[in-house]
Amino acid sequence: DRFDDLAAILRDESLEGLDPDNTHRFLNELLEKIPAEKRPELSDETLLEYDRNIVRHTLAINENRLCAGEDAIVWKYFQYLALLFTEIYLDRYFTDPYALRAAINERISAFNESAEEADRIEPLDETDDPEHQLNKIAFWMATGSGKTLLMHVHIQQYRHYLARAGREHELNRTILLTPNEGLSEQHRLEFAKSGLTAEIFQKDGGGLFSGQSIEILDIHKLREESGDKTVAVEAFEGNNLVLVDEGHRGASGGEAGKWLSRRDDLCEKGFSFEYSATFGHAVEGDANLSERYAKAVLFDYSYRWFYGDGFGKDYQILNLDTDTEREHLDLYLTACLLVYYQQLRFHDDHRDALTPFAIEKPLWIFVGGSVTKTLAARDASDIVSILQFLERFVTGGEETTARIGRVLSEGLTTADGRNIFAKRFQYLGGLGMDADEIYRDVLARIFHSPGGGRLHIENLKGAQGEIALRLGAESDPFGVVNVGDDAKLVKLCEKEGFLVMEREFSGSLFHQINAADSPVNLLIGSKKFTEGWNSYRVATMGLMNVGRTEGAQIIQLFGRGVRLRGYNRSLKRSARTPLPEEIEPPKHMRLVETLSIFGIRADYMEQFRKYLEAEGLPANEDRIEFILPVIRNLGKPLRTIRLKEKINGVKTGFGDAFRKLGPVPTLDEPEDYLQRNKVVVNWYPKIKAMRSAGVDEAEETAPDRGILTERHVAWLDIDRIFFEIERLKAERGWYNYNLRRSAIRDLLFEDSWYTLYIPEDLLKLDSFEKRRIWQEIATTLIRKYVERYYTYRKREWELPHLEYRELDEEDPNLLPDEEGDGGYRILIEASREDIVRKLETLKSDIEKGRMKDVEFAGLKAIWFGNHLYQPLLYLKGSEIEVRPEALNEGESRFVTDLRAYHDAHPD
């Protein structure tokens, strides 16, 4: 019933992807962990059918994305659940909308029983048309959680169920509404990668596929009546599939508020999918909107869930109070600059070690909550204040050096006596540089001018809205200001005494920020970055012009800043990612996996904290790292058989040595081993999923065996099978695998290497419709064989390189760190003094050898004398972060059960 319960079953990253039968491992886990009696409305067959649909849509999109040079989609657990929930909803919506409404009303009634009166929800009126009531669903999902790719599959899901109901002729258009033209173009390109025909809506005439392709429209152009650059809602009729990006837009008053009714008109007789990271802020204080989205949100994976699962960067707030703003603003901003410099320096010093984690060069940004075509006075004032600080810093000489020294030695104490920069510069402190050396390196590394110089402000005539920042006239630009009215800002800067000039021939600095060779380290801009701007570089974020009504925009800014690719594209912080033994993140890794947030005015920071609290997120103003020791159990030598760490100087991790040194495996006919260890495919579960009724008793008790004959093979599309195994090869990184197309046909002509359980009638050559089934069977068989053949060849080559190895203190299984001390690294809010005290007590007990289970704040220490070290930690919840990864619920239960059995059977 609870999302937490589903998530606990599926969070294990090893469940991602498809099994050899082309079924999601997530589904296998759900079927195993949730007995059929606990889901009477969702039989195994029904869930398998939903999964088949998701697989089919995903493979179709992947085929095109791979051809476009993109990575294949492998769903995260929350993305899979979003798609599965969509399958369930659309199936019920098209099959029996009355029953779906009754089920939703039943859930509303159960919710209302325990809710405060002000929070209760009105049930759906049972006298209205249920299709009209239920034709809008919303996905409340964090920035960076993959909403765009989900949208691509949602289109396919909707079209599938519409066609299954025999109603595909009813659909007029598929329309995507976006907040601006830039995001429209970005979506067009993404649709093309997925093989979905899409075009920017053209008012006059439209394109070749008008009415058939996905039409992308900037919502600003949707009006009550048509104009020169706008189009009336009535021009589209009302039976459309409408997709709304940034769905919170229009959930307000004024002209923006009218967008909501226009969207509703577009899908009055159709259907709508809405997507946003910030529905919560958008509906705040509006009872009608709260009611609407309480019923419409099908899936909630907002940022609190995303962060709690370890996805995205960590974050810390560099607090600023009114007294500090008034008396020590330059000292505070110097410290913030040094926070960014420390991130940049760490990245430059550890480029190779950071490569597996796809950490990009850090970027320092200043962003505001609003932007107009003209430059708002508060924006202009804040930008000028930033530029004035930079000028003072780069020309300050000894004064700047003194401030740097003071920050590093004393920090900055606020009015309430807290040092907000305590322990923030441990990496810099370990470099052994004095303040003067750091100042010179900052000038060289951030500002590209080792000797310093005055700040030059250049209006770039070749890039509208962009102003370059550089020290001296000839050094590379270190920063770019991107505003609506660049001319106005340049005049203001000139009035304030800055060196101002123009550069006639220049490209865009902003559009090149993500390029590996971009010299830009600082970006100053505003709200345009909240919608559609993609960058993984953001490391330090300064807030300017943050108002009281801009929660949605600010949380979007925050979401853009915490994007993280992570190891193996996990999207996770390294501390929350299971890593191979060969991969060890460098010490102080948190520096580049943490977004540092500060503001140039105290009230901005106060407002930002309130926004985070509204999202259910901790302020993270002062997190501490706690080392919890372990007791190692190495009394007896323990020898293991492992592959050598290196073969001829090449590391064996991830199969590198085999790929580089081993013979090239060429797909071929099976040898004796593969004939004895056959591929086994059971098609009976697939049949259950495809048929509306269950199979008969004979099928259950005596499954038939069958083979594909030459007559079956003659009907197969061998190219499609070849493409599928090429996709598998790319997913696995088997670039040394020689896949011959001719080998596929040769393999299918013989049956010595597989066993196929399938009803005899499905192999009868009496229906052209069965060709699709034979194609799927052949693909599954070849896919399994290709996987097994490669594994066999790899193991055959590695066998002579196995060796006995004795476990020692440095083994990664024993949690060593750089100082040689073993233990867990625990991150916790310093304000949670109750948890810190209990951790101190647990640490003392461990050091004194007091072995007893302890549980608090979702953390449980489990003692089991037969493990390599003690205690083992189990973690439930997100208040504490543990590295290495703590046990999950299933692992914890296994350990405690094993311990109980061992204690009951000491012999």
Instruction: Tell me: do 344 and 281 sit in the same domain.
Output: no
Please indicate, yes or no, whether residues 116 and 216 belong to a single structural domain of this protein. yes
Contact by Cβ (8 Å): 378, 550: no
Query: What distance in Å separates the CA atoms of residue 164 and residue 179, rounded to the nearest whole number?
Result: 33
Contacts of 740 by beta carbon, 8 Å cutoff, 6+ apart = 666, 667, 668
pLDDT at 635: 62
Residue type, 499: L
Q: Is residue 899 part of a domain?
A: yes
Q: Mean per-residue pLDDT for 225-247? A: 81
Confidence at residue 820, expressed as pLDDT on a 0 to 100 scale:
45
Same domain for 874 and 731 = no
Same domain, 450 and 325: yes
812 is a domain residue:
no
Q: What is the pLDDT of residue 451?
A: 87
Contact 471, 443 (CB under 8 A): yes
Q: Which of 344-353, 461-470, 539-548 has the highest mean pLDDT?
A: 344-353
pLDDT at position 829, please?
74
Residue 808 lies in a domain: no
The distance of Cα 29 from the centroid of its chain, to the nearest Å, equals 22
| Confidence check: pLDDT of 199 > 50 | yes
- Whether a cis peptide bond, with omega within 30° of 0, leads into 906 is no
pLDDT band, very low/low/confident/very high, at 244 (cuts 50, 70, 90): very high
Q: Alpha carbon 390 to chain centroid distance?
A: 34
Question: Of 243, 267, 301, at which residue does a domain stop?
Answer: 301
What CA–CA distances, in Å, run from 167 to 83, 220, 329?
A: 22, 31, 64
CA separation for the pair 568, 810 (Å, rounded): 25
In terms of Cβ atoms closer than 10 Å to its own Cβ (0-12, 13-18, 19+), residue 877 is exposed
| Domain enclosing residue 419, as ranges | 314-621
Structural domain contains residue 671: yes
Average pLDDT, the chain: 85
Distance of alpha carbon 390 from alpha carbon 397, whole angstroms: 12
Directed axis angle between helix 329-349 and helix 435-445, to 10°?
70
Percent helix, strand and coil across the chain, each rounded to 5? 45, 15, 35
Percent residues over pLDDT 70 in the chain: 88
| Global confidence as pTM | 0.78
Q: Residues near 511 by Cβ (< 8 Å), separated by ≥ 6?
A: 463
Which amino acid is located at 674 in the chain?
L
User: What is the chain's Cα-based Rg?
Assistant: 30
Q: Which helix (H) or strand (E) holds 222?
A: strand 222-223
Q: Is residue 306 part of a domain?
A: no
pLDDT, mean of residues 630-641 = 74
Collapsed DSSP state (helix, strand, coil) of residue 49: helix
Which residues are CB-contacts of 124 (< 8 A; sequence separation ≥ 6)? Answer: 101, 104, 105, 108, 130, 133, 134, 295
pLDDT band at 526 (very low <50, low <70, confident <90, very high): low
pLDDT surpassing 50 at residue 818: no
Per-residue HEC secondary structure of 769-791 comes to HHHHHHHHHHHHHHHHHHHHHHH
Q: Quick one: 153 and 293 in the same domain?
A: yes
Q: How many Å apart are CA 321 and CA 829, to the nearest integer?
A: 20
**What is the per-residue pLDDT across 310-352, written as a single tens digit (0 to 9) for each?**
899 988 887 777 777 777 888 989 999 999 999 999 999 999 9
Sign of CA dihedral 760, 764, 770, 771: positive
Q: What are phi and psi of 386, to 5 degrees?
A: -65, -45
Contact 400, 389 (CB under 8 A): no
Identify whether residues 826 and 790 lie together within a single domain.
no
Q: Are residues 377 and 462 in the same domain?
A: yes
Both 756 and 821 in one domain: the answer is no
Same domain for 633 and 568? no
Name the pairing type of β-strands 479-482 and 499-503: unpaired
Per-residue model confidence (pLDDT) at position 692? 38
- Alpha-carbon distance of 354 to 566, in angstroms, equals 10
- CATH number, domain of 212, equals 3.40.50.300
- Per the domain annotation, does 361 fall within a domain? yes
pLDDT at 174 over 90: yes
H or E element in which residue 642 lies: strand 639-643
Query: Do residues 183 and 323 both lie within one domain?
Result: no
Assess if residue 847 is contained within a domain.
yes
* Residue 24 CA: distances (Å) to CA of 127, 148, 733: 40, 21, 20
CA–CA separation, 827 and 841 (whole Å): 16
Tell me if 781 is assigned to some domain: yes
Give first-to-last CA distance, the chain, whole Å. 43
φ, ψ of residue 447 in degrees (nearest 5): -100, 0
Q: Does residue 207 carry a pLDDT above 50?
A: no
pLDDT digits (tens, 9 = 90+) for 14-36: 899 988 778 899 999 999 999 88
- pLDDT higher than 80, residue 213: yes
697 with 566, same domain: the answer is no
Q: Of the candidates 762, 779, 803, which is a domain's last residue?
A: 803
Query: DSSP letters of 684-724?
Result: HHHHHHHSSS---HHHHHS--EE---HHHHTTS-HHHHHHH
d(CA 523, CA 533): 13
Q: 597: how many CB neighbours lie within 10 A of its CB?
A: 28
Q: How confident is the model at residue 695 (pLDDT cuts 50, 70, 90)?
A: very low
C-alpha closest to that of 471 among 367, 362, 387, 401: 387
State whether 265 and 365 are in the same domain: no
Of 777, 803, 829, which marks where a domain is finished?
803
| Domains of the chain: total | 4
